[in-house]
Amino acid sequence: MSDTSTISAVRDYFIELQTAICNTMEAEDGEAQFTQENIETPEGGLSRPRVIDNGPVLERGAVQFSHSKGASLPPAASQRNPELAGKGFEATAISMIMHPRNPFAPTFHANLRFFLVDDSYWHFGGGFDLTPFYPFAEDVLHWHQVAKDACDPFGAELYPRFKEWCDEYFVLTHRQEPRGVGGLFFDDWHEDGFEKSFALTRSIGDAILQAYLPILQRRKDTAYGDRQREFQLYRRGRYAEFNLAIDRGTQYGIQSGRRIESVLASMPPVAIWKYNWTPEPGSPEAVLYDEYLKPRDWLTELT
């Protein structure tokens, strides 16, 4: 297996996945459509940003594919492996986020990536996580069951391992607050060789729509008012904080010189911040904080 065929196979899968997710989300929205851009780089890379805006269901969505090449890894990619600093690399990735209009429909994020460094080192990474504003137990249970089902063929230990990794990563450390109810996260993954690692990555990628679409379909038409909309926008502010202050993918995109419009397309289109605000005890908004913004064994506790 040559390096060229290795990254080509991953790249082809990510492009196919991008197309499938965009087509499905366009159909679900019913009106808005994703942009169609193909941007080639001087180094031989390719960026395919796909952004949907101002739809009746999807207020903002982004499904981004990139294949990049460089002479030196950015710090965000080499800080955990200092021995790789300064080496040439290729990377291909798909990342996505959906910000539904309805406050009862959760935001979701997913990404998958593959790095090949200086013809001597490779790894996969990625996962998916859910960020509800008004959470429903059946939605969270479904999300985590699909996540577990995607991992189980590759070892019963992987779901709890990736879930814990997700719980540890998606935390606003400056607030000591989880971003949402988690899911899966893995990084620097090359256990058991390329073929098995790639198969695991495909299984997680193929589970993205299975995990999210039923939830969106259940919640997208729920009636809501100004109170629910304002809380949604307030919690979107937390999402923006994480992306700008903590997320390694955003840092990598900025450091590697990627097109900034593509890097920041995952940001919510509208968000607000309130000074020193806390939800009223016993309110529907307080349920998020009291019951869901904490690591839990969802599959045991919600069944």
Q: What is the per-residue pLDDT across 87-122, written as a single tens digit (0 to 9) for each?
A: 788 899 999 999 999 999 999 999 999 999 876 789
Which domains are seen in the chain, by residue range?
Answer: 3-301 (3.40.1500.10)
Task: pLDDT band for 265, please (50, 70, 90 cuts).
Answer: confident
Short-list 295, 252, 271, CA closest to 95: 252
Other beta carbons less than 10 A from residue 103's beta carbon: 22
Residue of 122, 97, 106 whose CA lies nearest to 5? 122
Mean pLDDT of the chain: 92
pTM confidence score: 0.92
Q: Which residue has the tokens 């016993």?
A: 282
From the list 103, 275, 96, 108, the residue with the least C-alpha distance to 182 is 108
Catalytic site residues? 109
pLDDT of residue 71: 74
Task: Indicate the burial class of 47 (C-beta count within 10 angstroms; 0-12, 13-18, 19 or more).
Answer: middle
Backbone φ, ψ for residue 232 (5° rounding): -60, -45
pLDDT band at 303 (very low <50, low <70, confident <90, very high): confident
Distance between CA atoms of residues 203 and 207, nearest Å: 6
1 has a pLDDT exceeding 50: no
Helix (H, G, I), strand (E, B) or coil at 268: coil
Q: Is the pLDDT of residue 3 over 60?
A: no
φ, ψ of residue 301 to 5 degrees: the values are -80, -25
